[in-house]
Amino acid sequence: MRTCAPDRQGYAEHGGVKLHYEVYGDQNEPTVLLLPSWTIVHKRFWKAQVAYLARHHRVVTYDGPGNGASDRPTDPEAYRHDRQVAHAVAVLDTTETGRAIVVALSQAANWTLGLAATHGARVIGSVLIAPSLDIADQHGERAATSGGQTRPDELPPSRVARGGRDPLDHWSKYDTTYWQDHYEDFLWFFFGQCVPEPYSTKVIEDAVHWGLETSPQVLAAEAEGKQMPDRSTLEAWCARVATPMLMIHGDRDRISPLRRSERLAELTGGELLVMEGSGHVPMARDPVRVNHAISSFVGRVTPPQADPVRWTRGRSRTPRVLYLSSPIGLGHARRDVAIAQHLRALRPEVEIDWLAQDPVTRVLDAEGERIHPASRHLANESAHIEAECGEHDLHAFQALRDMDEILVSNFMLFHDVVSATHYDLVVGDEAWEVDHFLHEDPELKRFAFAWLTDFVGMLPMVGSDRGPFAGSAIDPDQREALVAADVNAEMIDHVERFPWVRDRAIFVGNPDDIVPERFGPDLPMIREWTQAHYDFAGYVTGFDPMALADRAALRDELGYRDDEQVCIVTVGGSGVGLNLLQRVIAAYPEAKRQVSGLRMIVVAGPRLDPGSLPAHEGLEVHAFVPGLYRHLAACDLAVVQGGLTTCMELTATGRPFLYIPLRHHFEQNLHVAHRLDRHRAGRRVNYDEADPDHLATLIATEIGRDPHFRPVETDGAARAAALLADLL
């Protein structure tokens, strides 16, 4: 799911080639023009920049010829250098952009220099990221290729003997003939060279997907036609450029050497930002730093613009907390409110602001909590999760990985907020973006940071047809195991390299609630590692189960009669549970026949329209129900998904329940199931076997049963608050 939609889009045309453009933040001058790069990718490679830049500036981006939504000519003439410059001018004209800050990656630096030298009135300034142009010599091994064709005279003898196209050799794959039969293999090799940084599987996967959207025939035409400017031409252009320039270059760039940016800085008097440890695409692998560098450059070369996000109250002695609560389900909101209330009891003077989004904001509004006005700019994580789901199927691990664009955007907003207002403590309840990017960019930390979670470790799920590269030649299960271990290894590396970033890591539960699994091959056991790096608060229910112990009085208060058996069906705060609700509703007539006095209440949640669900006489369907935990405590049976919060609320109040985990949801199927097994709670049901007749029989079997669950602690919120209070 994309973080933001363009304000307008359309096509520019030049030389008979249609070029698809998008405009964001159409009213926010100045304009930042994000150029396309090599035809092997399209404009989505700027996905980590667009939303942030568009909140502060007007942004124009477009697909070059050969990929994305633009035409795919196979005439080499369409890819000549002068045509590429003309394409940029055509987009500026069509989008009514008089002048722009031009940002380019790799070979698009050639077009930017040409544009700045020959159309200087259109360029305010230029940012060249990893410029790939003939201003200084190429890396030695890459110099063995020229114009997309292998040069056997410069290859080692072993390669010459094999025709210069040995699949096991490296840069010999940069060959138009090799691409015809081994295109995907070339993509994996090339983008692996572009992104040599560790823990970069997602960036490489994205790039390979984008590369597969064009063809080797198009790339071959581009290689034949581009005719890049030679060194003397580039040097002459540099002498003519009169506007500011910023070069951003990684010192581990295997595609284009750092010396090229150094030489450009010498020739133009421009600035040079060297990205230590970065490869060829730092805007994807190190987006926060690149975003700040671009925005800072724009600020230096243009008049300052009003910032609509800033909300400054200045510093005072009053301790301030910024609380972030994951919107993926409502459970985080309830427990976080409970923790915040206990924190105020310990520190009455504390002020708490919430950076949150729907459906969390519904809970916060009901509790009278103060929501930061910047929250309206958060990219919607719940909508992304819903877009990723199938029929009672959510590949949760892949959905989190595919949320990278949203997480970058939301971290950039978070950083705007903490830069504008001083906070003594930031609490992130599974605020993945804040934890990740504070470890990636630890110099940005200016506050105490507490991390909360109820599970540790991304675990692979086998047998999925919705995971990374499902349906391709790559084994999906093998790939998922690899990338899950890679994500876990990065997290471990973050924590052990920068232990001071997390001032407190709090596990919402106990050590035995952690799965007895390994993070991955040659990685630590999850439980042992977590015990060494976390404090344990015990489970946080968000309410006192003892206050609900008198079920007769509670049922009377809620309007449940003694002669009826109440079955509550609920699927949480997202729209992922629609299919389960439909099945349980279909089971209602048979269940009613088998269960005397059955009263079934379906809670659709805040993101599903109750009117879209089937109706039966006597069946009650509601939307968001405040205080739902009280109804769960009073019921005779609940039918739920495998979400931790609802299952543990039922466990804490000792109510029988059926739980039906989403298929391929690693947290529900592995982490939550392990915790429920430890508490001897709930009856697990496989969705594939849960047809309406079977569900009706299970409801009749389980309703009214007197379970004996392991007790759930009642002081988790107070313990978590005490751990947070120590940081103020």
pLDDT tens digits, one per residue of 393-413: 999 899 999 999 999 999 999
**What pLDDT does residue 363 have?**
87
Give 13's Cβ-side CA count (13 Å radius).
Answer: 3
Gap between the Cα atoms of 495 and 235, Å rounded = 46
For residue 431, what are the CA distances in angstroms to 406, 428, 483?
12, 5, 21
Q: What is the CATH number of domain 8-137+226-301?
A: 3.40.50.1820
How many CB atoms are closer than 10 A to CB 710?
11
The string of DSSP letters for 270-291 reads -EEEEETT--S-HHHHSHHHHH
How many CB atoms are closer than 10 A to CB 183?
16
Structure tokens, 41? 């990718």
Query: 663 pairs with which residues across the strands?
Result: 393
Q: In degrees, to the nearest 5, what angle opens at C-alpha 333 toward C-alphas 663 and 491?
A: 60
Nearest one of 112, 102, 117, 83 to 237, comparing CA atoms: 117
Under CATH, which architecture does the 545-702 domain have?
3-Layer(aba) Sandwich (3.40)
Helix (H, G, I), strand (E, B) or coil at 68: coil
Q: In degrees, to the nearest 5, what angle opens at C-alpha 211 toward C-alphas 278 and 37?
A: 60
Which listed CATH number (3.20.20.120, 3.30.70.120, 3.90.226.10, 3.40.50.2000) goes with 320-541+718-725? 3.40.50.2000
Positions of CATH 3.40.50.2000 in the chain: 320-541+718-725, 545-702
pLDDT tens digits, one per residue of 516-562: 999 999 999 999 999 999 999 999 998 888 899 999 999 999 999 99
Helix (H, G, I), strand (E, B) or coil at 124: strand
Helices (H), 534-627: 551-558, 578-594
Q: Kind of pairing, strands 149-150 and 145-146? A: antiparallel
Phi, psi of 551 (to 5 degrees): -65, -35
- pLDDT averages per 10-residue partition of the chain, 728 residues: 91 96 91 97 97 95 97 95 96 97 97 96 97 88 47 31 46 92 93 95 95 96 92 95 97 96 96 97 97 96 65 66 88 91 97 93 92 95 86 90 95 96 96 97 97 96 61 72 95 97 98 97 97 97 90 95 95 78 95 95 82 85 85 96 93 96 94 97 95 96 92 94 96
**What pLDDT does residue 474 have?**
65
Gap between the Cα atoms of 384 and 405, Å rounded = 11
Residues 6 or more apart whose Cβ sits within 8 Å of residue 264: 128, 131, 135, 238, 245, 247, 270, 272
Positions of CATH 3.40.50.1820 in the chain: 8-137+226-301
By the 10 Å C-beta count (0-12 exposed, 13-18 middle, 19+ buried), 29 is classed as: middle
Residue with tokens 């609320």: 649
**What pLDDT does residue 163 have?**
36
Nearest one of 39, 62, 42 to 221, comparing CA atoms: 39
For residue 210, what are the CA distances in angstroms to 38, 44, 282, 467?
11, 8, 17, 17
CA dihedral 148, 149, 152, 154 (to 10 degrees): -30
Prior bond of 589 cis (ω within 30°): no
Gap between the Cα atoms of 220 and 210, Å rounded = 17
The string of DSSP letters for 13-52 reads EETTEEEEEEEESTTSSSEEEE---STTS-GGGGHHHHHH
Amino acid at 140: G
Kindly state the DSSP code that residue 669 receives in the 8-state scheme.
I
By the 10 Å C-beta count (0-12 exposed, 13-18 middle, 19+ buried), 162 is classed as: middle
For residue 159, what are the CA distances in angstroms to 138, 153, 181, 187?
20, 10, 18, 20
